[in-house]
Amino acid sequence: MRFITTNSVWALVIFVIILAGLGLGVLTLYQSEISIIGWIWLVTGLTCLLWLMYIYTNAKNNAIEYFSACPICGSSNILAKISWGLSIDDTHEVICQDCGAKWIIKTSGWTGKIKTVKLVKPSDNDAGQEYLGKETDPEFWVTIARKRKQK
């Protein structure tokens, strides 16, 4: 599985690093009463950075857990695009580069855990057509993969 991180994720990472950096700057330049602002920026920036890393790692691990092999064709040639949205949930794309199937996975913006999985494009030979557009839990696709293997 190959991962692509979209610019929105990097923009957010840069933002929190700048915030922490500004906080550090204020702390170094002014050792007076306003240093509390520096501490707030620094702590907020670092906390957000750690939190982001936690969410990102969870989203990645979840994608690996459920999509290490394509549920439709079994290929491990999978591309996952990890992104960050300005909403409660984040949506990512999982694309099978062998059969062309594409899923949108929705993860919690707080924890990075997968909430729902939706097939938005069936494979190039129309396998999975019957599941198109259905929002399911990730376990559903584990079942599909298992059924395919039994055939």
How far apart are CB 134 and Zn ion at their closest, in Å?
17
Give the separation between CA 35 and CA 136, rounded to whole angstroms. Answer: 49
Q: Is 73 in the site for Zn ion (CB under 5 A)?
A: yes
Contact 78, 68 (CB under 8 A): yes
Cα→Cα distances 10→7, 21, 50, 89, 93, Å? 5, 16, 14, 17, 17
Applying the rule CB under 5 A, the residues between 85 and 104 that interact with Zn ion are 96, 98-99, 101
Q: Is 80 in the site for Zn ion (CB under 5 A)?
A: no
Q: Is 72 in the site for Zn ion (CB under 5 A)?
A: yes
How far apart are CB 6 and Zn ion at their closest, in Å?
22
Nearer to Zn ion, 86 or 151 (CB): 151
How far apart are CB 107 and Zn ion at their closest, in Å?
21
In the chain, what are the helix, strand and coil shares in percent, each to the nearest 5?
Answer: 50, 25, 30
Interface pick for Zn ion out of 9, 16, 70, 95 (rule CB under 5 A): 70
Q: Is 6 in the site for Zn ion (CB under 5 A)?
A: no
DSSP H/E element including 61: helix 35-67
Contact 115, 108 (CB under 8 A): yes
Number of residues that bind Zn ion (CB under 5 A): 8
Residues of this chain that bind Zn ion (CB under 5 A): 70, 72-73, 75, 96, 98-99, 101
